[in-house]
A = this chain, B = another copy of it.
Amino acid sequence: MTSPSPRSITGELAEYAASTRFASMPDAVRHEAVRAFTNWLGCALGGSREEAVTIAAATVADLGGAPQARLIGQQQRTDVASAAFVNCIASSVLAFDDAHLATVTHPSGPAGAALFAMSERHPVNGEDFLAAFALAIEIQCRMANVLLLPPARFNIGFYVTGLSGPIGVAAGLANLLRLDARRTGWAMGIGASQSSGFREPHGTMTAHFRPGHATRAGVWGALLAARGFTCSDHALEGEKGFVDVFSSGADLSRAVTGLGQDFELMRNCYKPYPCGIVIHPSIDACLDVATRLPAGVPVASVTLRVHPLTLNLTGERSPRDPLDAAISVFHCAAAALLRGRFGLAEMRQACIDDPAVAALRATIEAMPDPGLRRDEAILEVDLVDGTRLGSHTTVTRGSIERPMTDAELDAKFIEQAEIVLPSDRTARLLRLCRAVAELSDVGREIGAVLSTEMAPSR
């Protein structure tokens, strides 16, 4: 049943999605798409040996699935929907991926996983691939903006990537598959009909199932719509549609204003640290103080002041494993302060179980301060000798104002890829990612490097 609507954003987004091409993308957006894809593929490799991925891969293997696309970092191949699902869990599981800070959406996981899997089935050159990938991110972030940003009232309990992810993925795939605008709208509507997820499972494997589900939902939307499976032409804005049920008072124009000119992709940040993005300002402050900590003087107390959302989303006091350590501002701050660095090693079980880290974790006080921005944190460390050290993060590393440099992203890629690939293959893969726009067949050329001999499992 079609409903009258204030603005047919389904139709407007579908028209845009069906017609957008690499040629019309500004240079800065093209470059950012390459960075986002490189970051994504590195994360998918980095997470590929984690237990959540292993279980998901075994479940997929059990159901069969034609060998259309690879599980990244593994020898197994499966159907495109299942490959997207598993690869997105992999890119999410270390909480090292990316974040659209305005909405805390993690858009490149669902986008990258679906489009890369499809590129192995459906040959696509680098320019077309990047256009579809950037589009999938753009529409995810814009729909997240509609749901969350003023004047919308939104229940923060919903998992945003799970809501907007299927829509963006469906749009990106529809572009890649050259669906017409009407079927593109149906693809987005079928995707939106699977939009789901809430925050309660944070800290468990299901936290990473959710983006996996989002990308697969988008694949299903595109595949069904491509065959003429019908949906409402007003799935997003209709009276009982996506925006109506997941938000209230939303400004639908956020979905389409400046489309093609103003890119949310430029407001997407790559994580320098493998944990919840709202923890990052605290880590910066801890790393800063760590450089000034005198050797041998014990810490008496640690006080953090953070934006309230930090404690709301990442207030886990006593993490037991890497999954819930990634949502523990206490663990991350303690590890950063004590070790003076924050990388994958600080999220491993050994660090979580380290008695010195655990002792410091227990002494940290963290106070919500509504006067702070999300990317701000204030740290005070008192030592037993009476010394007080402090740090105030005003511009977080990896933020829009201080983005990860290309060199930093390269290093992050290499650190993760080398978990599963020998270093020469890692280097070749990184060169291919950096030059993805020039590839004639993304799935085949990148797949060829991925499929060669893997390093043994850790």
Q: Which residues of A contact B (CB under 8 A)?
A: 1, 3, 52, 55-56, 58-59, 62-68, 79-82, 155-158, 162, 186, 189-190, 192-206, 209-210, 213, 220, 223-224, 227-232, 234-235, 238-242, 244-245, 315-316, 323-324, 327
Contact = CB atoms under 8 A, between A and B. Distances in A.
A106 to B, nearest CB: 15
B190 A245 contact: no
B80 A238 contact: no
A315 B189 CA distance: 21
Contacts of A238: 200
B232 A55 contact: no
A209 to B, nearest CB: 6
B244 A198 contact: yes
Given A1-B324, A63-B80, A206-B230, A241 B193 contact: no
B224 A59 contact: yes
A440 to B, nearest CB: 25
Given A63-B80, A155-B245, A194-B213, 8 more contacts: A1-B324, A55-B228, A157-B244, A189-B206, A193-B196, A193-B201, A193-B206, A200-B234
Contact of A81 (B63, B67, B231): B63
A88 to B, nearest CB: 14
A240 B200 contact: yes
B205 A231 contact: yes
Contacts of A157: 239-241, 244-245
A223 B62 contact: yes
A95 B193 CA distance: 19
A227 B193 contact: no
A204 B227 contact: no
A339 to B, nearest CB: 24
A226 to B, nearest CB: 8
Given A209-B190, A229-B209, A200 B64 contact: no
Nearest to A5: B200
A242 B193 contact: no
> Top 10 A-B pairs ranked by shortest CB distance?
A64-B66, A157-B240, A200-B238, A200-B241, A199-B240, A63-B79, A196-B196, A206-B231, A204-B230, A201-B232
A245 B65 CA distance: 34
26 contacts: A3-B200, A52-B229, A55-B224, A55-B227, A59-B227, A63-B65, A64-B64, A64-B79, A65-B79, A155-B245, A157-B244, A158-B245, A189-B206, A190-B206, A193-B213, A194-B196, A194-B197, A194-B213, A198-B242, A198-B245, A200-B234, A200-B238, A200-B240, A201-B231, A201-B235, A205-B230
